[in-house]
Amino acid sequence: MRIESSRWLRGPNRYLARPVRVTQVRLDGLTGRETCEFPGLPERLLDLLPGLAEHHCAAGAPGGFVKRLYGGTYFGHTAEHMAIEMSNVLGREVSFGRTVGTADPAVFDVIMECPLDEPYDSEISEKLLENAIGLILALTRGETPALPDLSEIQRRYERERPGPSTQAIARAARERDIPVERVGDLSLLRLGYGRHRRLVWAALTDQTSAIGVDIAGDKELTRQLLAEAGIPVARGGAAEDEATALQLFEELGPPVVVKPRGGRQGRHVYLGIDTPDAVRTAYRAATAEGGQAVVERQVDGRDYRVLTVGGEIVAAAERVAAHVIGDGRTDIEGLIERANRDPRRGVGHARALTRLAIDEVAATLLGRQGLAAHDVPETGHIVWLRDNANLSTGGTSVDVTARVHPSVADLCRRVAGLVGLDIAGIDLRLPDIAEELPLDCGGVIEVNAAPGLRMHLEQHDVGAAIVDALFPAGTPSRVPTVAITGTNGKTTVARLTAHLLSGAGLRVGLTTTDGVVVGGRLVQRADATGPRSAQVVLGDPTVDAAVLETARGGLVRQGLGYDWSDVGVITNLVSDHLGQDGIESMEDLVDLKSIVAERVREGGAIILNADDPRSRDLEFSGREIIWCSLDPRNPLVRRHWDSGGRAYLLADGWLVELAARRWVPLLAAHEFGGGFGGAARHLVANALAATAAARVLGVTTARVAERLRTFGADPADNPGRGMLLRCADVHVLVDYAHNPAAIAAVSDLVERVWGCERAVAAITLPGDRRDDLLRESAAVVASRFGRIVLYEDHDLRGRAMGEVPGILRDELRRAAPHAECVQVRTVDEAVPAALALARPGDVVLLLYEKIEPVLAMLGALGAHHAGEVGVTDVNLGKTMAWTGTG
């Protein structure tokens, strides 16, 4: 039993709306074996992981998995539950898991939920599954293994998980339905989409003043700035050497505080300094990493931290320095060990509190109290481990927000404004925060940019306060988003939709198989139909609207790149890509593509093809369904319109909108740019879907018609899809058709405009298609064309050289034995061969693998954009059998 591969699905996927890791496990010698075949295995496993008794499994209640364990279950399923339980033992709470068989009975896909905001490259799930497999192998050998040491995985989890501040902000954003994306393993969050996108890094935001951060980072500058504004601060100054530090000590009088001028998190802060020797020692420690030190008069009082967000007080806490309390029996080391068992304590900032330790600073302070680590303090005796009260050095806090006196609150608001921080942690030393601010108090000790939120989180939703400051009530966090999937036509519908939206004055981010386009400019050339490309667009603050082509590969391998869209389009659902990535049947393919529709927000719209049998069977609730059809007599559309629904049709040669019981002609089909005078019915169908999407997002009918007329005027509008060039006296129709339905559609166009007897087909097909789909595609070509050139993709996609052309050739010979068929190796040979077979006035249908080299080669041969082609006697649409008003 072993792991073969693993992949992370970052967004909504076919298993769950949250991230999951899919790990492929080969059972080897345990193939077909069940847990009940190994006496004592269930008991020994439950002894190892008693929490398994609470797992529901398919029973839907605690004990469900145990029942399966005793009754017999496969070991892929067993490993899934073991890994989930070990995850929970680490405090990494996950609940969803699933084990799915593959075409190979020895291989299972084990799916495990991943915590939100876990880094995409985290291997924790995989490591836990490896440990589960190791235990299974030992158990099936009759051994009684011990639970493996998970400490390294635990440490990795603590390093990778977002800190409490980041978690609080992310959680608050999600509760307001604001999109959240963590950047790598950093504490940096992207909130919102497009032009509403905001950045938050712990308690820093993209509104935080850089000047304010610099001021707060300079303790002496902060003190001077506040003092000049009449804010009560401790007297003191900066020391660039020991002599200056000693001079300040003499002027201020003991006790003083010595700290780094640019210090943070309470590091190297020394309180209670009352002798020149202590000043020297503290100065050297405070400047050990370079820079100056600040020497200030130590102010009497209690330590407080006040958090301001957007100029308002959101939380306040009294801070207590790290300490333990004696019980008369336990030594100081034991008391520290006991305190560290508190699950809230962790290393660094990963938990609400920081672990205590006897380091050099603590040991020195213990000595000042006349104590050592092995001493046993009396019951109730407080043993201090730190002078300063920072949480990052082990301190604790008590919430005092409700007790803050108005004069103190006013002081803190003034301080945050003077320093220029939208989020500030203001450290005060006062007799009592609930009392009127004394004029002669020490007051403000420090001002902190990016203040830690940990001390406030148990009592106050400070994450929500930060999110509310970034997105005040009623402020949008999203841009209009259209997601497009299906089998054929996705790229053209995406390009058309972007063309229509940009005509309405929106700056559109577009992803397609050819790359990422922002504002009409190609910014990234790639197959950009997966989640990473979607995030490029949605994370761009210049984008007003997003149009995302969403292909099968990205859905299977990484999930969606967004949480919700406003409009989902499914162009059609026909056979393609079967036998790849676990998609074995049309039912599998339909389920996968339906994810795009399922992730349309409630109240959004789903656009479906009423002429596609499989699309007609889809059902979705809570969203508007809009049907598109080339057949005005389609009974489904008629029923839908009768019930008040919206639809878009080709009727009487017009693109028509049916809405609100009105029939509104939009554009004559022959005026649709790039539609071959309406002869390209598949492109007209694409135009209907794009029109529906644009209309949902508010583009006017007049603007839609105007933009549909101009589409295709520039060859860059829709490169490689129904693209017509002229090479001498022969037309070349370049298209990406690569499955039977697509080839049939473009062949119909050739038949309507030129007649297939005037056509040559130069074809290639991807090697990752099943043999039966390759033969079916070849049969379509054979039924339409008498002159054919075969060539091979550069990327063989796992096939042997010559294998795909061989399959196509054999099927062509069987289906059309009299056809003239030429086989060459590459597209560089195929195009000249096809042109040689063509006669003046003919057309060459060229199916390609990559568009750029094809266009470059045709350009070298003198080909140029042909523009519109005249079409006569083309049946553009059946007569309307029913009419509406308008």
Question: Could you tell me what percent of the chain has a pLDDT over 70?
Answer: 96
Residue 869: per-residue pLDDT: 65
Give the residue carrying structure tokens 């609930």.
434
Half-sphere exposure of 525 (CA within 13 A, CB side): 3
Residue type, 27: L
Residue 353: per-residue pLDDT: 75
Checking if the pLDDT of 64 tops 50, the result is yes
Pairing of β 654-659 and β 396-399: unpaired
The sign of the dihedral angle between the CA atoms of 327, 333, 334, 337 is positive
Beta-carbon contacts of residue 480 (< 8 Å; ≥ 6 apart): 501, 506, 544, 545, 546, 566, 567, 697
For 669, the token pair is: 């089909």
Pairing of β 2-9 and β 20-26: antiparallel
CA–CA separation, 109 and 582 (whole Å): 10
pTM exceeding the 0.85 threshold for the entire prediction: yes
How crowded is residue 44: how many other Cβ atoms within 10 Å of its Cβ? 16
Q: Are 158 and 347 in contact (CB under 8 A)?
A: yes
Helix, strand or coil for residue 579?
A: coil
Checking if the pLDDT of 453 tops 70, the result is yes
Short-list 317, 308, 318, CA closest to 413: 308
Q: Say whether domain 235-297 belongs to CATH 2.102.10.10.
A: no
Pairing of β 759-763 and β 787-790: parallel
pLDDT digits (tens, 9 = 90+) for 628-670: 999 999 999 999 999 999 999 999 999 999 998 889 999 999 9
Q: How far is CA 259 from CA 285, 296, 860, in A?
A: 9, 9, 72
- Across the range 6-22, mean pLDDT stands at 94
Dihedral of CA atoms 679, 596, 716, 853 in degrees, nearest 10, equals: -100
Predicted confidence band at 347 (pLDDT cuts at 50, 70, 90)? confident
State which fold the 723-865 domain adopts. Protein-Tyrosine Phosphatase; Chain A (3.90.190)
Domain coordinates of the chain in residue numbers? 2-160, 235-297, 481-717, 723-865
List the strands of the sheet with 236-239, edge to edge.
Answer: 236-239, 293-297, 256-260, 270-273
Residue 868: per-residue pLDDT: 64
Q: Say whether domain 481-717 belongs to CATH 3.40.1190.10.
A: yes
Predicted confidence band at 878 (pLDDT cuts at 50, 70, 90)? very low
Checking if the pLDDT of 502 tops 60, the result is yes
Which DSSP string do the residues of 54-68 spell out, in sequence order?
Answer: G--GGGTSTTHHHHH
Short-list 304, 324, 326, CA closest to 316: 304
Which DSSP string do the residues of 702-747 spell out, in sequence order?
Answer: HHHHHHHHHTTSSGGGSTTSSEEEEETTEEEEEE---SHHHHHHHH
* pLDDT greater at residue 110 or residue 378: 110
Mean of all residue pLDDT scores within the chain: 91
Q: How far is CA 176 from CA 31, 198, 601, in A?
A: 47, 14, 14
Question: Could you tell me what percent of the chain has a pLDDT over 90?
Answer: 76
Question: Residues, the chain, total?
Answer: 886
* Cis amide bond preceding 531, omega within 30: no
